[in-house]
Structure 1
Amino acid sequence: MAAPDKVTDLSSAVAAHVRDGMTVALEGFGHLIPFAAGHEIIRQGRRDLTFCRMTPDLLADQMIAAGCVSKLVASFFASGSAGSLHEVRRRVENADPQPLEVEEYSHYGMVCRYQAGAAGLPFFPLRSYAGSDLPKLNPLIRKVSDPYGGPDIYVVPPLRPDVTIVHAQRADRSGNVQMWGIVGAQQEAAYAAETVIATVEEIVEEDVVRSDPNRTVLPSHAVTAVVECPGGAHPSYTQGHYDRDNAFYREWTPISRDREAVLGWLEEWVHQVPDRAAYLDKLGAERWRGLGVAPRPSQPVDFGRRRVAAQEVAS
């Protein structure tokens, strides 16, 4: 029986799987951030989303400014170490132009929430909130008694997104997704979700995936749709494909300070740009070349095979 072909285009994937009012996770820890997917959500005008993300960097600024997000579930608010998220700050500090509901955790707290969601657990215990003020700010971070007689311990509730979206280096057509470099909570967030969309730099043949199976972070049974989307993580980076566009992060800070400038950027770079290919054309070949990386192959790995199987192939 042939494996199902899960390849589609980004517009169709978002149209089919992301609906108003959903809880949506867009994960990637500094690396492999699914910006193209976030921009397509903006382009399609989704509303009232609960947006989940560790380190809600400028993608959060953009999606919130576009009116897509009514609640943010996140940890560590920063624009990629290049400044504040001023759209987020306007909403939280001044309810300008309207308030934003925020549910804040530590990084590890978010990972534990995804793990609990993926495992079907009612909560996940962790010690790292001892001495922290976060439990005072977030009533969902609670203490429970240790049933084995130890001291009380903090717990966080499961996080089960309706849709998780990730970006990766490659996948085959049936949805076996491979990543390398910094991998954050993509696997946990995917297994916790009802639906998973993976955007990738390239679609490869099944034999390529089978040749290096340990890089398969998400196997096909966990993935709903696969989209070939080169450059889909810009301005973040994709290990082995292109570097982080640090200039873009620095440029965002003065834009983010001015709400009208943010809306103008969204109009120019999202609404007036039909897809990621057009976005990269607008970015310009010279700037894109400047983000290119030199090759650094890893050493080959010999996985071996049974001698009987090898002899059958040889014959």
Structure 2
Amino acid sequence: MVSFLPLSRAVAENLHDGDAVAFEGFTHLIPTAAAHEAIRQGFSELTLIRMTPDIIYDQMIGMGMARKIIFSYLGNPGVGLLRRARDAIENGFPRRIEIEEHSHAGMANAYAAGAAGLPCAVFRGYRGAGLAAVNPNIRSVTCPFTGEVLAAVPAIRPDVTFIHAQKADRKGNVLVEGIIGIQKEAILAAKRAVVTVEEVVDNFDDFHPNLTVLPSWTIAAIAVVPGGSHPSYTHGYYIRDNAAYLEWDEIAADRDRFQDWMRRNVLEGRADDFAVRVKHLRTAA
């Protein structure tokens, strides 16, 4: 049965050193507050999984938490590099990390296979691409019916997945509005799932029935964290903080400045700080 918990407890009870963990979100609904809580609790030896790692993974890598990353795009969206990730990959600072790069199609299919309980994903992909030469987990299989050679990748089955969403009802069902990425599949593929939400409502009776709803039985814990996606946006609640992404490029470029920013804004911060950060970005629901 899903539990409503403070974020610190939800993270402590579901994330462990050495876990394979996905903090999933696409364009908006990026679970920043959950990632910051994981940083405060100091987890280590993590395998970080995400289709589009952005600044929260830059922060976690820069804090030495990651052993490996599995991804299909690595960058500060709309700006450029993830400088802490690049420093780790190229210079081993603060530690060397293993990388496993896929295409978006490869990652999406791998999550879907994990959600379906399958050992691998089989799909058309990687033709003419060089990723298979550097990623031994990209292989090929021959269709037993047509003889067509297809791509195959291992299913993604995180130990725990974190996402952010707009609403949960009091029974623990979760509603997602706006652009949908791979969050639903990432939840279903995981052994445990934690969702941060903007608010809890009595029920979903007043919402369109085709909105994405994750039933309560797919979720281990829900934490109410208004603003918990900042600096990304949450559709219907607040807009993207573009200035924060631009600022991050300068912060992450310097090791000492990065550490000072992390100390002041994350290590000494709290989950309820997020509501303050998005106050000027609020939009009509």
TM-score, normalised with respect to structure 1: 0.87
Find out whether 1:241 has 2:237 as its counterpart: yes
Output the CA distance in 2 between the equivalents of 1:89 and 1:98.
11
Deviation (angstroms), 1:160: 0.4
| One of 84, 87, 90 as aligned partner of 1:90 | 87
1:156 to 136, 153, 157: 153
Paired residues of 1:209 and 1:216 also in contact (CA < 8 A): no
Number of aligned residue pairs: 285
Q: Deviations over 1:62-102 (max 9, x none)?
A: 01111221111111111012120011111112222321111
Q: 2:129 is paired with a residue of what secondary structure? A: coil
Q: Which residue of 2 aligns with 1:202?
A: 199
1:262 to 253, 258, 265: 258
Output the CA distance in 2 between the equivalents of 1:54 and 1:38: 16
Q: Cα deviation per residue 1:142-177 (whole Å; 9 max; x = unaligned)?
A: 011111133211111101001001100000132210
Cα deviations by residue, 1:187-236 (Å, 9 ceiling, x for unpaired): 00000001010100001113x35754432431111111111110000000
Aligned with 1:171: secondary structure? strand
Which structure would you say has the larger RCO, counting Cα contacts within 8 Å and 6 or more residues apart? Answer: 2
Hey, what does 2:280 align to over in structure 1?
A: 290
Structure 1 residues 22 and 210 mapped into 2: Cα distance closer, same or farther (>3 Å)?
farther
The answer to whether the Cα contact below 8 Å between 2:7 and 2:271 also exists between their aligned partners in 1 is: no
- Aligned-partner residue type, residue 280 of structure 2: G
* Residue segments in structure 2 that go unaligned for 5+ positions in a row: none
* Equivalence for 2:18: 21
Identify if the C-alpha distance between structure 1 residues 146 and 63 changes in structure 2 by more than 3 Å, giving closer, same or farther: same
Say which is worse superposed, 71-80 or 30-39, in terms of deviation.
71-80
Match of 1:232 in 2: 228
Q: Select which of 259, 272, 280 maps to 1:277.
A: 272
Partner Cα separation in structure 2 for residue 20 and residue 141 of structure 1: 27
Aligned counterpart, 1:59: 56
Structure 1 residue ranges (4+ consecutive) displaced by more than 3 angstroms after TM superposition: 209-213
Work out whether 1:49 is the aligned partner of 2:51.
Answer: no
Quick one: which of 92, 106, 109 aligns to 2:106? Answer: 109
Q: Which residue number corresponds to residue 123 of structure 1?
A: 120
Note if contact 1:245-1:291 (Cα within 8 Å) is conserved in structure 2. yes
> Bigger CA drift: 154-163 or 63-72?
63-72
- Cα RMSD (Å) of the superposition? 1.5
Three-state SS of the structure 2 residue aligned to 1:199 is strand
Separation in 2, partners of 1:25, 1:289: 28
How far apart are the structure 2 equivalents of 1:87 and 1:169? Answer: 30
Question: SS at 1:227's partner residue?
Answer: strand
Amino acid at match of 2:166: Q
Q: TM-score, normalised by structure 2?
A: 0.96
Instruction: Flag structure 1 segments of 5+ consecutive residues without an equivalent.
Output: 296-315
Q: Secondary structure at the match of 2:272?
A: helix
Q: 1:260 to 1:280 in 2, by over 3 A?
A: farther
Tell me the distance in 2 between the aligned counterparts of 1:46 and 1:108. 30
Structure 2 distance, partners of 1:117, 1:28, is 17
Q: Which of 88-97 and 239-248 deviates more? A: 88-97
Give yes or no for the alignment of 1:143 onto 2:129: no
* One-letter code aligned to 1:256: A
CA contact (8 A) 2:170 2:202 kept: yes
Q: What's the % identity of the aligned pairs? A: 46
**One-letter amino acid matched to 1:186:** Q
Greater Cα shift, 123-132 or 208-217: 208-217
Q: Which structure's CA Rg is the greater one? A: 1
Q: Quick check: which one's helix share is greater?
A: 1
1:292 Cα deviation from its structure 2 partner: 2.0
Distance 1:50 1:134 in 2: 20
